[in-house]
Structure 1
Amino acid sequence: MNYTAEAPSVWGPAFAGADDCSLSNDQCVIRGQHYFVKGLIEMPITGRDEVFSWGVWVSLSRESFSRVSELWDRPGREAEEPYFGWLTTDLPVYPTTTLNLKTHVHTRPVGERPFIELEPTDHPLAVEQRAGISPERVREIASAVLHAGNTVRRAADGGRR
Structure 2
Amino acid sequence: MNEDVCIIDDEYFFIRGCIELPVIDGEGPFIWDVWVSLSETNFDKMMEYWEVEGRERDLKPMFGWLQTSIPCYPETLNLKTMVHTRPIGLRPSIELEPTQHPLSLEQREGLGFKRIKQIAEDLCNVEEKL
Range into which the TM-score falls when normalised by the shorter chain:
over 0.9
Quote the RMSD (CA, aligned, Å): 1.2
Instruction: Give how far 1:30 is off.
Output: 0.7
Choose the corresponding residue for 1:89, options 52, 68, 78.
68
Instruction: Name the residue aligned to 1:62.
Output: 40
1:105-140 deviation line (CA, Å, top 9, x unaligned): 000000001000000000000000000000011111
Instruction: Give how far 1:49 is off.
Output: 2.6
Give the gaps of 5 or more residues in structure 1.
Answer: 1-21, 151-161
Instruction: Give how far 1:147 is off.
Output: 2.2
Instruction: Give how far 1:55 is off.
Output: 0.3
In structure 2, what residue type is equivalent to 1:117?
A: E
What is the 5 A alignment of 1:114-129? Answer: 114-129=92-107
TM-score by length of 2: 0.94
Give the gaps of 5 or more residues in structure 2.
Answer: none
1:76-125 deviation line (CA, Å, top 9, x unaligned): 1101100000000001211x200000000000000001000000000000
- What SS does the aligned partner of 1:149 have? helix
How many angstroms apart in 1 are the aligned matches of 2:117 and 2:7? 34
- What SS does the aligned partner of 1:72 have? coil
- What SS does the aligned partner of 1:103 have? strand
Choose the corresponding residue for 1:35, options 3, 7, 13.
13
Instruction: Name the residue aligned to 2:28.
Output: 50
Instruction: Give how far 1:47 is off.
Output: 2.1
Instruction: Give how far 1:149 is off.
Output: 2.3
Instruction: Give how far 1:148 is off.
Output: 1.7
How many aligned positions are there?
Answer: 127
Percent of residue pairs bearing the same amino acid type: 47
Instruction: Name the residue aligned to 1:99.
Output: 77
1:59-79 deviation line (CA, Å, top 9, x unaligned): 000000001111111101101
How many angstroms apart in 1 are the aligned matches of 2:123 and 2:36? 20
Instruction: Name the residue aligned to 1:157.
Output: none
Q: Indicate yes or no: 2:122 matched with 1:144.
A: yes
Instruction: Give how far 1:146 is off.
Output: 2.1
TM-score by length of 1: 0.76
How many angstroms apart in 2 are the aligned matches of 1:146 and 1:26? 25
Question: Which one has a larger percent helix, Structure 1 or Structure 2?
Answer: 2
